[in-house]
Chain A
């Protein structure tokens, strides 16, 4: 005879019975004859304690239900959190009132901002595999059937096997892609509809490319100098100061183009085209460079495993971290300026808290990651050899298995990676071309058009350009802690320095002559005379001789230097500089490579799909 479960008793609720052990309920329907019998079993002794487990479950379920209610989450916008302890100390009534006002304002502001989140209609989300005990990394082939048609079009591959390896850069609004083959191949495209805007063969080595303030201008680190091109591919400018540039970056709020060689770091103001600051790092060769978007501090990764942080105000680095025991290959900092990811020759990827310089996580790879990147929503991508690995929730917490993996062609090797802003796509530059793969949940779904607008029209772009120029921040404003700006220095030494800086500033402004016509003329004449004097053949000859003798003396001194080991090593490091350099520009292909690669894509899918 089959038994039915008594009404009101769920399967998971166990009934203590005679011996105090668990009596299993029978499942299934049927005759009710013995149903009564089961009900008559002593279910629960009255004196016996209530089932604590069941109580616990009930309490938990109830509390969960209650917390599920949607509330305004103001904590994200709470500006007082940090300063609260600082400003509530005073006893003065007036100050208290002022402080109370600030509190009120901050609260109101946070509340309004939180409630304005209602307007953000797009919701971020990640791909999730159901009914699998141990999640395995997703592949593109697995993902493809679940992706909408428009996005399917954005998963593609460009086979460019002659002029690689390819490095890339996305414009700030994620609409444009700049590809640069090391052997002098440059292409600018509107990548989402695969519209090639320009393609150039430069006939010399290209080591890095970077968009300037918008997609209309970009800088290219070529064999000897940095060149600036416009959207039509016209050469606009050549920066003479830096020789053999390796890395480029652009600070959009300061309009600074930052360039680095193995040993030097320079800042150019891209709005007026002048050199702002330059220095010799005095450290091991630079192998990676990336900005911290929060405070505009440049992070340089060196061949001895050190990451140094630079502001264009001091003679030396502001701080340095020994991040790895082996040379650093690549690094990236997230948009909030909290996390830094470094990869090294020792096949380890480490996550750091850049504010406290603490190591948070580390991940072991099979091959060293040549490139790492953090997406807007905090995914980490690391690519080395022929594989690319993406981790989710891997910054603050330790991620177990990777979220996604992808493989470059077996004969190729990944050299550059970048997440496309505001899109769920990852651009991979490798030796034989470029790949665009989907990474669900990578990009920020809700853009702020004050910062970057993916749907920008030409007029909006021009307007944003003017706004940005008017709001340009001076390079001197870059500090490790931008919160210090406008505050009162709290240490006596700092105060002294502040006073001195002000004195200098006042003296400068006092001595500055007004820009009258006469003064300008005088200045121009002075400049002209200086230039003439500089170009005087006698002076030039003298200078040449001086320079030669100086270098000789230097070399002599260096050879005699006690610390031979270091200098040898340095020499070794720098000697490698040109070994890897490819012989570029041997031949100029007749047909556009990128255009053909793009056209090929229309017909056939990549192998990995």
Chain B
């Protein structure tokens, strides 16, 4: 009873209700214990054959950890011997509290009932499954290795044997001075600290520098280009402005700025101004004397003779010249100080020819279109690109067609320019060629080569499109009196025009599809493209085996593998056998290298990431 109380004291912390319940239970237990004790002496106990246990158990059986003096099979309603009962004697011990807690935990853990052991067969199966999972996990580490080896074009056993290639660096590294001379050289190198210079590093640095320079150049170029483009746009825009007012304002502004500049210079350095004015004056004199821009040149005279002065392009050029002349010969106010001294001092700076040459150049640029970027050299006008027709057909055929090279209105101007340019030698050559062309055309005028060829081509087309067979059939069919009634009262059968037209259209379509269609001077016998003899060198369908599509097969033909078409290195590489076993080497079982493991981890991570991404909802 006291023990029960003590136990109740232990759980003091619980609520009052709990305490009451517990007390009730304890009471129950106590009464049961009393009953048990009473029953020990009762007839029931005897009947069951239980030995009588004395009230003082210690007297009969020695109590030990192996022997608990208590009835193991209590009757219905009887209380089993509990752990707490055994603990009672230890109540006063120091570790009692901790021990009780441990016991409580144990009790809680044991509260679930054990499952009955499964059947042997099932156990075996389960074991097998577990083992399989474990093994496959181990083996899947090799997945990557196996696939790479399987897909590898060439594999060599033993694996991982690197063939040491002899390069300049390996030679340098393995070099040890042996002879006297070598030793001396080595010493000198070491002394001068040259032995440690890494050539590769130096080269790399140089290369980097170079690249940097190149990059900078690129940047600079890009800038320049953008500036050019802006200028061009601006120029185009201002060229389009038609407002008179705008141009007037611009002119005035220009004039004003010019005057301002002149004034500034006059204030700063009168000598320079004097020189400038002197130059202007000399140019004026020269212009008046030579009348260079008065259109007295051979070019201008040629134009006048040929009556080309009204062609807009030339008119513009002539006007420009006149404007220039006016500008040059215009009298300008001179600076007050006389410049006789300067005139005397300045000699003729360049020979006249040079000046003229330069001015001629200026002339040339004067005629050019407004923007310099779009300007093309004059000679370009002469180089006529041959038209499609000219390229396609031989020249005599185009001649026959009556087209000729000249004739187009647009080309008249360029022709005129070419004529005006008067490149006399080339002209002569051209003339000679033209003459010869004419002469030859005359000489072979009666040659019926073209007509005969055309006839032949027609015949070939007829034969190959089946027209000939049709015609033959039609000829026999349409023989008078064949396949129809004749005599008085019969009507002549009308030919089936529609059918004939349809057939003709079909034939025409066929003819247009021919390789030589549109080329009057070529006959290609198409039916002989794949002939019975060379047919065996082609395939009717994709070959089986490793090729899954025709495209794959065709791709395999692109690169020839033979030594005649490749470098020996490449050839050796592409004809390596799939597997090569080195002689006299021990082939060890494959081992997981660190690299492979690393790769494995990477692959795993990648896979997980992929799965993760797949799980993400896609919107």
Contact = CB atoms under 8 A, between A and B. Distances in A.
Contact of B539 (A112, A134, A498): A498
Contact of B272 (A37, A56, A480): A37
Contact of B394 (A19, A24, A34, A323): A323
Interface stretch (B48-56, B108-116, B171-179, B222-230): B222-230
A475 to B, nearest CB: 8
A502 interface: yes
Nearest to A2: B347
B228 A56 contact: yes
Contacts of A502: 535-536, 540
Contacts of B554: 83, 86-87, 487-488
Contacts of A504: 532
Contacts of A358: 391-392
Contacts of B528: 311, 313-314, 316, 318
Contact of B349 (A27, A63, A80, A98): A27
Given A18-B262, A92-B549, A102-B556, A112 B453 contact: no
A568 to B, nearest CB: 13
B148 to A, nearest CB: 14
A128 B251 CA distance: 52
A470 interface: no
A498 B521 CA distance: 30
A62 B539 CA distance: 54
A237 interface: no
B449 A314 contact: no
Contacts of A311: 528, 531, 534
Nearest to A312: B533
A209 B273 CA distance: 85
B540 A488 contact: yes
Nearest to B275: A37
Given A18-B276, A498-B535, A105 B574 contact: yes
B297 interface: no
A527 interface: no
B310 interface: no
Nearest to A133: B425
Interface residues of chain A: helix, strand, loop or mixed (majority): mixed
A24 B559 contact: no
Nearest to A33: B271
Interface residues of B, number: 100
A37 B271 contact: yes
A582 interface: no
A40 B269 contact: yes
A62 B217 CA distance: 8
B350 interface: yes
Contacts of A79: 558-560
B436 A313 contact: no
Contacts, number: 275
Interface string B500-544: 000000000000000010011111110011111111111111100
A109 B566 contact: yes
Instruction: Name the interface size band of chain A.
Output: 35 or more
Interface string B352-380: 00010010001000000001110000000
Contacts of B346: 1
B444 interface: yes
A102 B555 contact: yes
A86 B552 CA distance: 10
A280 interface: no
A484 to B, nearest CB: 6
Nearest to B426: A400
A80 B558 CA distance: 7
Interface in B412-445: 425-426, 432-433, 436-437, 440, 443-444
Contact of B257 (A1, A45, A348, A359): A45
Contact of B521 (A3, A45, A89, A322): A322
Contacts of A479: 529, 531, 534, 537
A359 B539 contact: no
A495 interface: yes
Given A34-B271, A52-B231, A489-B540, 9 more contacts: A27-B350, A52-B232, A52-B371, A86-B554, A95-B555, A322-B394, A358-B392, A477-B534, A497-B530
Q: 4 shortest A-B CB distances, which residue pairs?
A: A501-B535, A476-B533, A37-B272, A322-B521
